[in-house]
Amino acid sequence: MKKKFAKGKYEEAVEQAKELLDKGEGMQSIMDATGLTRDDVTKIQNKIKMELDDK
């Protein structure tokens, strides 16, 4: 189920999720802290991995 974010809040949640991923937080704690869905967090993880693979 997709959650609605206020304008600009989705981007803030994504940035927070990136920080939590860098700290090694688990999926559920990231979802709880940001309000993002599992799919959103997985997309962020994949994007980070692709960026690291390109370097």
pLDDT digits (tens, 9 = 90+) for 6-47: 888 999 999 999 999 999 999 999 999 999 999 999 999 999
pLDDT category of residue 54 using cuts at 50, 70 and 90: confident
Q: Is residue 3 part of a domain?
A: no
Single pTM value for the model: 0.84
Yes or no: say if 31 and 37 are a contact pair by the CB < 8 Å rule: yes
| 1: in domain | no
Range of the domain at 31: 9-54
Counting the structural domains of the chain, the total is 1
In a domain, 4, yes or no: no
Task: Indicate whether 25 belongs to any domain.
Answer: yes
